[in-house]
Amino acid sequence: MAGLYHEEFEIDRVFVHDLSLTVTEYDNISFSLMMMMNTQPQHIDNNFAEGTEWGKPLFNSLYTLAIMIGMAVSDTTQGTTIANLGMTDVRFPKPVFAGDTLRARTRVVSKRESASRPNAGIVEFEHTCLNQKGDVVAMCRRAAFVRKR
Protein backbone atom coordinates (compact mmCIF):
# COMPACT_ATOMS: atom_id res chain seq x y z
CA MET A 1 0.00 0.00 0.00
CA ALA A 2 1.28 3.47 -0.80
CA GLY A 3 1.47 6.06 1.94
CA LEU A 4 -1.42 8.36 2.69
CA TYR A 5 -1.56 12.09 2.15
CA HIS A 6 -2.22 14.47 5.03
CA GLU A 7 -5.91 14.85 4.26
CA GLU A 8 -6.42 11.06 4.19
CA PHE A 9 -5.39 10.49 7.82
CA GLU A 10 -8.21 10.22 10.35
CA ILE A 11 -7.61 10.77 14.06
CA ASP A 12 -7.82 7.49 16.05
CA ARG A 13 -7.51 5.33 12.93
CA VAL A 14 -5.50 2.23 13.78
CA PHE A 15 -3.28 0.43 11.29
CA VAL A 16 -2.40 -3.17 12.11
CA HIS A 17 0.68 -3.73 9.99
CA ASP A 18 0.94 -7.01 8.05
CA LEU A 19 4.71 -7.25 8.28
CA SER A 20 6.35 -9.25 11.04
CA LEU A 21 9.98 -10.07 11.67
CA THR A 22 11.73 -12.74 13.70
CA VAL A 23 14.90 -11.13 15.02
CA THR A 24 18.17 -13.05 15.22
CA GLU A 25 21.38 -12.96 17.19
CA TYR A 26 23.16 -11.87 14.00
CA ASP A 27 20.75 -8.92 13.60
CA ASN A 28 21.46 -7.80 17.15
CA ILE A 29 25.24 -8.10 16.98
CA SER A 30 25.66 -6.58 13.52
CA PHE A 31 23.35 -3.65 14.27
CA SER A 32 24.96 -3.00 17.65
CA LEU A 33 28.53 -3.09 16.37
CA MET A 34 28.42 -2.01 12.71
CA MET A 35 25.55 0.44 12.73
CA MET A 36 25.70 1.91 16.21
CA MET A 37 29.24 1.32 17.45
CA ASN A 38 27.54 0.12 20.66
CA THR A 39 29.89 -2.25 22.46
CA GLN A 40 27.56 -2.87 25.42
CA PRO A 41 28.31 -6.51 26.31
CA GLN A 42 24.65 -7.03 27.27
CA HIS A 43 23.91 -6.96 23.52
CA ILE A 44 26.89 -8.76 22.03
CA ASP A 45 28.48 -11.11 24.59
CA ASN A 46 26.66 -14.34 25.46
CA ASN A 47 29.06 -15.13 28.32
CA PHE A 48 28.56 -11.70 29.90
CA ALA A 49 24.79 -11.84 29.41
CA GLU A 50 24.56 -15.23 31.16
CA GLY A 51 25.54 -13.42 34.37
CA THR A 52 22.74 -10.83 34.11
CA GLU A 53 19.16 -11.05 35.30
CA TRP A 54 18.10 -11.93 31.74
CA GLY A 55 20.55 -14.80 31.29
CA LYS A 56 20.96 -14.04 27.60
CA PRO A 57 21.69 -11.00 25.38
CA LEU A 58 19.08 -8.28 25.16
CA PHE A 59 18.14 -7.14 21.69
CA ASN A 60 19.32 -3.56 21.04
CA SER A 61 16.37 -1.29 21.87
CA LEU A 62 17.20 1.23 19.15
CA TYR A 63 16.98 -1.54 16.57
CA THR A 64 13.59 -2.51 18.02
CA LEU A 65 12.53 1.13 17.60
CA ALA A 66 13.75 1.18 13.99
CA ILE A 67 11.93 -2.07 13.16
CA MET A 68 8.68 -0.79 14.70
CA ILE A 69 8.71 2.44 12.72
CA GLY A 70 9.90 0.69 9.58
CA MET A 71 6.95 -1.71 9.73
CA ALA A 72 4.59 1.28 9.74
CA VAL A 73 5.99 3.05 6.68
CA SER A 74 4.26 1.13 3.89
CA ASP A 75 0.81 1.64 5.41
CA THR A 76 1.23 5.25 6.49
CA THR A 77 3.88 7.46 4.92
CA GLN A 78 5.66 5.62 2.10
CA GLY A 79 6.23 8.16 -0.65
CA THR A 80 4.25 10.90 1.10
CA THR A 81 6.49 11.84 3.98
CA ILE A 82 8.75 14.86 3.67
CA ALA A 83 10.56 14.35 6.97
CA ASN A 84 10.32 12.92 10.45
CA LEU A 85 10.09 15.80 12.89
CA GLY A 86 10.77 13.91 16.09
CA MET A 87 9.88 11.13 18.48
CA THR A 88 8.71 11.37 22.06
CA ASP A 89 7.52 9.05 24.81
CA VAL A 90 9.85 6.27 23.65
CA ARG A 91 9.46 3.27 25.97
CA PHE A 92 10.58 -0.33 26.07
CA PRO A 93 8.33 -2.01 28.67
CA LYS A 94 9.54 -5.58 28.02
CA PRO A 95 12.81 -6.96 26.63
CA VAL A 96 13.31 -8.41 23.17
CA PHE A 97 15.52 -11.44 22.64
CA ALA A 98 16.88 -13.22 19.56
CA GLY A 99 14.14 -15.50 18.25
CA ASP A 100 11.27 -13.15 19.12
CA THR A 101 8.86 -12.28 16.33
CA LEU A 102 7.90 -8.61 16.24
CA ARG A 103 4.84 -6.97 14.74
CA ALA A 104 3.46 -3.45 14.99
CA ARG A 105 0.39 -1.29 14.97
CA THR A 106 -0.02 2.47 14.58
CA ARG A 107 -2.69 4.88 15.77
CA VAL A 108 -3.13 8.38 14.34
CA VAL A 109 -3.07 10.66 17.39
CA SER A 110 -3.45 14.08 15.78
CA LYS A 111 -2.93 16.08 12.63
CA ARG A 112 -2.65 19.74 11.77
CA GLU A 113 -1.88 22.02 8.88
CA SER A 114 1.66 23.28 8.42
CA ALA A 115 2.03 26.94 9.32
CA SER A 116 4.88 27.42 6.85
CA ARG A 117 4.09 25.08 3.93
CA PRO A 118 0.62 25.01 2.35
CA ASN A 119 1.44 21.74 0.56
CA ALA A 120 2.04 19.77 3.79
CA GLY A 121 0.78 18.99 7.26
CA ILE A 122 1.95 17.33 10.44
CA VAL A 123 0.61 13.95 11.55
CA GLU A 124 1.38 12.49 14.97
CA PHE A 125 1.46 8.70 15.25
CA GLU A 126 1.58 6.37 18.23
CA HIS A 127 3.51 3.25 17.27
CA THR A 128 3.34 0.04 19.30
CA CYS A 129 5.53 -3.04 18.84
CA LEU A 130 4.50 -6.45 20.16
CA ASN A 131 6.25 -9.79 20.42
CA GLN A 132 4.83 -13.20 19.50
CA LYS A 133 3.13 -13.46 22.91
CA GLY A 134 1.32 -10.15 22.42
CA ASP A 135 3.52 -8.35 24.97
CA VAL A 136 4.20 -4.69 24.22
CA VAL A 137 7.97 -4.39 23.81
CA ALA A 138 8.22 -0.83 22.46
CA MET A 139 6.14 2.31 22.01
CA CYS A 140 6.69 5.85 20.82
CA ARG A 141 5.00 8.90 19.42
CA ARG A 142 6.31 10.21 16.11
CA ALA A 143 5.57 13.46 14.31
CA ALA A 144 5.82 13.27 10.52
CA PHE A 145 5.78 16.09 7.98
CA VAL A 146 3.45 14.70 5.29
CA ARG A 147 2.57 15.90 1.81
CA LYS A 148 -0.89 17.05 0.83
CA ARG A 149 -2.42 16.11 -2.51
Q: 129 pairs with which residues across the strands?
A: 104, 138
> Is 115 within a domain?
yes
> Is 18 within a domain?
yes
Cα dist. 1→15, 17, 27, 132 in Å?
Answer: 12, 11, 26, 24
> Is 142 within a domain?
yes
The Cα–Cα gap between 96 and 24 comes to 10
The tens-digit pLDDT sequence of the chain (149 residues) is: 589 999 999 999 999 999 999 999 999 899 888 877 878 888 889 999 999 999 999 999 999 999 999 999 999 999 999 999 999 999 999 999 999 999 999 999 999 999 999 999 999 999 999 999 999 999 999 999 999 99
CATH of the domain at 125: 3.10.129.10
Number of helical H runs and strand E runs in the chain: 4, 5
> Is 88 within a domain?
yes
100 φ, ψ (degrees, to nearest 5) = -75, 145
DSSP string, 80-103: TEEEEEEEEEEE--S---TT-EEE
Name, in order, each residue with C-beta under 8 angstroms of 14's C-beta and a sequence gap of 6 or more.
105, 106, 107, 108
List the alpha helices (DSSP H) in the chain: 25-30, 41-44, 46-50, 61-76
Please give the pLDDT value at position 38.
Answer: 77
Instruction: Give the sheet arrangement for strand 120-130, strand by strand.
Output: 14-22, 101-113, 120-130, 136-147, 81-91
> Is 86 within a domain?
yes
Per the structure, the complete domain to which residue 52 belongs is given by 6-147
> Is 1 within a domain?
no
Instruction: Provide the number of structural domains found in the chain.
Output: 1
> Is 69 within a domain?
yes
